[in-house]
A and B are shown apart, each in its own frame.
Chain A
Amino acid sequence: MNTPTEYWMEDLETMPRQALAGMQLEKLKGVLGYCLSSSEFYRRKYGEAGVSAGTVRALADIQALPFTTRDEIVSDQEKNGRLGTLVCNKAEEPGQTIGMTGIKFSASGKPIRVLLSVEDAASQGRLAARGLVGAGVESRDYLYVMDFPQFNPLYMHLGLGSINVGAKSILAGMERAERNTSIYTRLYPPNCFYISPTYSKLVTSLLKATGKKYSIHTVLGWSEAGYSLPLSKQRFQEMWGELSDQPVDVCDVYGMVEVGLLGFECRHHKGIHGFEDAYLYEIIDPDSGRVLEPGEEGELVVTHLERTGMPLVRYRTGDITSILTDPCTCGRTHLRLAGIKGRRDQALRVGGKILYQSQIEEALAEHTNALTAFNVVTGSGEMSALEMSLVKDGTGGRTESDLGHACSRSLGVPVSIRYKSGDEVLTFIHRSQKVFTPENRDRLMREARNQRRAET
């Protein structure tokens, strides 16, 4: 791929690791001081833990700071109202923006309300620009931003990042893809998409129906693991490739509303590049809290190094991944994350093993032709076998038992597959949840229905 710019901020993105660590330490000290002086939440919490502004003198001292959990923030906001006591700015200060988590899907119930200052938005816009450039987006590209705008700073910041790069953004949102595809793509043929894996299934089928070839070269997206999983990524690349007159790079983006944009895969597909000038990334053993080494899998903990509205320090994301520090072909020196395996609280325990939805997706991508919708309805405890309902189309004509055995070999646990009709398998249009408990089924069915309605 021939692009005029390899980096958005070359010095920063290729900074030698020692200098980067020095920068991180200074910023961390700054953040700690700022949180202690501006946030009642941190004053209280750190006071109880015996942490003061002087606690951090080396990067390793971060381990003396207690973790912050999502539940703590939710209950602080419930108890104290408004944006809670964690925020460092007042909500009324002009020019800020407010967001909220879980609008499309709440992974775990109660939302967190988020406050971002003008500086926070500017910082995120630069990170977005870095990510877009690394994925291959250029200023002459027409970039379709197909994410959900409501209370979503990530959408705003991607839009701002696009403006920074100079690409032509079409802020299509996540609704009425049929109309958007038939009208806008005719007027402004797309070159790049920012779109979730699930949604790209609908959009590619709509584009395919136009019978045209487009000059699409980059597809990025967040909110689901699909683009990072090697076999799934291949399927997505094929799906988009069918529509394009050139090869398509499918790049994963990792972020969350309460933290921000956390990483973008570059065109070399060696993992998700973090932004170590903006965040400190740690991997911990989720049970003991012990910090793990690069290469070891565990729960991602992040700390804001550039945030004034609502900085999070040692925030337990609940996501399982590992850190890679070997050099990437692109020349960026910042660490990479090895794709998000899944959410810890959504792990399945089957036949003595821990399994994540993403692993099931990979197994199906390996043994079937399509990115098949599936459901696994779980109980709360250990299961002896993985029972999946699948929609039959696209499974390549294999029998239930045949496919079950193949998946079983890949996953290392007993797998039983039942084919069901399209109506009986809960499917989504925007963002999917394929593994759920019976108690959540109704809520998810409503969500699926709302997603369908937004499309008509």
Chain B
Amino acid sequence: MHGTERKYWDPKIELMTLQEIKLLQERRLRQVVEYAYARSAFYRRRFDEIGLKPRHIRTLKDLNKIPLTDKYVMRESAEKSVNENRKPFSEFITVPEEMVVTIHCTSGTTGTPFTAPLLEAELTARGIIATGDSAARQFWAAGLRPGDILAHMWNLGGAMVGGGNHVIAKGGAIPELFMTVIPCHVGNTEKTLSLMKDVGATAICCTPSYALYMPDVAAKMGIDIKKDLHIKAIVTGGEPGGASVPGLRDRLKDLWGAGIFDMYGAPGVGLNYECEYHNGFHIQSEGTLIQVVDPETKEELPQGELGSLVGTGLSPAAFPWLRFNTEDQGAISEEPCPCGRTHPRIVSVPGRWDDMIKIKGFQLHPNTIEKVVNETKGCSGEFLIILDKDNEGKDSVAVKAECEDDVKDVQGLRDRLEHAIRVIITLKADVELVPKGSLSRYVMKKQRVVDNRSKDKKERFDQASKVVSAKYFDED
């Protein structure tokens, strides 16, 4: 087995030269294209529609000949199959249905918890989409080692964010993950914190919102997070975290006294992880090829330019992903990373395009406001963007932000925040400060925007917020 002193989980892969990586990717691309064309009705149809054949894909340059697939196209195929009394994956699957052993479902990152995750349902032939090994690489990079005890706080039933399948597929005991795992799931935070304290958990994986929420519960229980728990590292994922929202990492470090490592993982793009330099997510390039395209024109963008992330899975899978447009925003950097890992990095993933607000001809992303709020002293970090129509029927934007209990000059803080926001986004946003705790907090996925410009949306939000604020807010 590997020694605990080595720096990388799998040095032979993580230190390959960029040239070796590209040659490997090229070879695997050819294989996976042949495989998908031969066995997946969906990809055969897409290729045949444009007269494309596997032999036309020889080098990485040929990648762009493959048509983009997005969730709408996938959803269409899934719906059609279901209406014909077949399974949603029927057109895609490359193996007999008999080989399927589990269904991976996600909650869907856009919209309310009621949104149908139709498209994000994925499956594997052997029950493991994020294998213990690919997760191990990430946790090793976060500084965790055999002997650590991991509190696994991603969803393990129902929503399945964070690849819980691989935990359950091994009955919770995962030797290739090199740590002892406590399947904590989400909710019942008091019991989770007690158990972590009692058994000496040293690591956590969870969503950033949950990492923010737990210290409040701990405080109420009289648990001193830093003295009573000894967490070495927190790996966050499932929503934009420390890498995209800079104020967030410092805040979490402050609360937990732990290394805060973000990740970006999704079907089609694999598990991309931060190293100790926190300058982007290292791609697991032997398994996934990621490129960036212009969100409007869909043309591939050069290295370093921000656009939509497109992922291609390079291992033959039951459900192939060839040029899947995630609509997540990011850029790729092939610059050497000081950590020594040679794999390109995804830099800056502020969020999904779907979350982009279009107002008065501007594009405004909630994460931009989040950054300002986090960096303004006196704000707790919770905020809400409210879009509405003013009396003249024009679009208006307001921001409600929670202020800390000990702020003395509330008016001054309000003015400072309003000014800071205006400087960043150019638009004038009315700012209202509200007491800490008065905005509903969402543990799993945060909805940062209320769009009242259409009545229907307002009603749906009111309904959803009533429901969601009651959920996950734990045992009484």
Contacts and interface: CB of A to CB of B under 8 A. Distances in A.
B415 to A, nearest CB: 39
B146 A450 contact: no
A152 B183 contact: yes
Interface string A149-176: 1111101110110110011111111111
Interface stretch (A58-66, A183-191, A228-236, A269-277): A183-191
A121 B171 contact: yes
Nearest to B195: A100
Interface string B170-212: 1111111111111111011001100100111000000000000
Contact of A187 (B78, B173, B187, B470): B78
Interface in A108-149: 113, 116-118, 120-122, 124-125, 139-140, 142, 145, 147-149
B121 interface: yes
Most chain B C-beta atoms within 10 Å of own C-beta, residue among A81, A142, A166, A170: A170
A454 interface: yes
Contacts of B316: none
A410 interface: no
Contact of A82 (B121, B147, B200, B471): B200
B171 A188 contact: no
B180 A160 contact: no
Do most interface residues of chain A lie in helix, strand or loop, or is the interface mixed? mixed
A38 interface: no
A150 B182 CA distance: 9
Contacts of A117: 173
A168 B101 contact: yes
Interface residues of B, number: 65
A116 B160 contact: no
A171 B168 contact: yes
Contact of A183 (B116, B177, B182, B200): B116
A94 B175 CA distance: 6
Given A95-B174, A100-B195, A140-B98, A151 B183 contact: yes
A414 to B, nearest CB: 37
Interface in B85-144: 87-88, 97-103, 105, 113-114, 116-118, 121, 123, 127
A97 B187 CA distance: 19
Contacts of B148: 92
Nearest to A186: B82
Contact of A98 (B98, B168, B182): B182
A456 B200 contact: no
Given A163-B101, A171-B160, A187 B168 contact: no
Contacts of B471: 453-454, 456
B181 A97 contact: yes
A157 B182 contact: no
B167 interface: yes
27 contacts: A91-B180, A92-B180, A94-B180, A95-B174, A96-B173, A97-B181, A98-B149, A98-B195, A100-B191, A113-B195, A117-B173, A121-B171, A122-B171, A150-B156, A150-B184, A150-B188, A150-B191, A150-B192, A162-B101, A168-B100, A171-B102, A171-B158, A183-B116, A184-B103, A188-B87, A450-B475, A453-B471
B171 A450 contact: no
A187 B118 contact: yes
A287 interface: no
Contact of A124 (B118, B147, B171, B174): B171
A83 interface: yes
A446 interface: yes
A420 interface: no
Interface string B310-343: 0000000000000000000000000000000000
B199 A175 contact: no
A116 B173 CA distance: 7
A103 interface: yes
B149 A157 contact: no
Contact of B158 (A151, A175, A450): A175
Given A92-B148, A168-B100, A453-B470, A159 B171 contact: yes
B178 A151 contact: no
Given A157-B171, A163-B169, A173-B156, A151 B101 contact: no
B50 interface: no
Interface in A54-103: 77, 81-83, 91-100, 103
B169 A81 contact: no
Interface residues of A, number: 66
A171 B129 CA distance: 14
- Shortest Cβ-Cβ A-B pairs, 4 listed: A173-B157, A121-B171, A95-B175, A97-B172
Contact of B101 (A120, A169, A446): A169
A179 interface: yes
Nearest to B202: A92
Contact of A81 (B105, B182, B198): B198
A159 B168 contact: yes
A206 to B, nearest CB: 14
A443 B198 CA distance: 23
A251 B177 CA distance: 35
A378 interface: no
B149 A91 contact: yes
B164 interface: yes
B244 interface: no
B158 A173 contact: yes
A99 B462 CA distance: 38
B101 A94 contact: no
A187 B157 contact: no
A166 B98 contact: yes
B170 to A, nearest CB: 7
B473 interface: yes
A454 B170 contact: no
A180 interface: yes
A261 B6 CA distance: 39
A398 interface: no
B157 A174 contact: yes
A44 interface: no
B103 A175 contact: no
B396 to A, nearest CB: 32
A170 B168 contact: no
Given A167-B101, A187-B87, A95 B173 contact: yes
A95 to B, nearest CB: 3
Given A94-B146, A116-B173, A176-B158, 8 more contacts: A99-B182, A148-B157, A151-B184, A160-B171, A166-B99, A167-B101, A187-B118, A187-B121
B406 interface: no
Nearest to B476: A446
Contacts of B187: 150, 454
Highest count of chain A CB atoms <10 Å: which of B121, B183, B473: B183
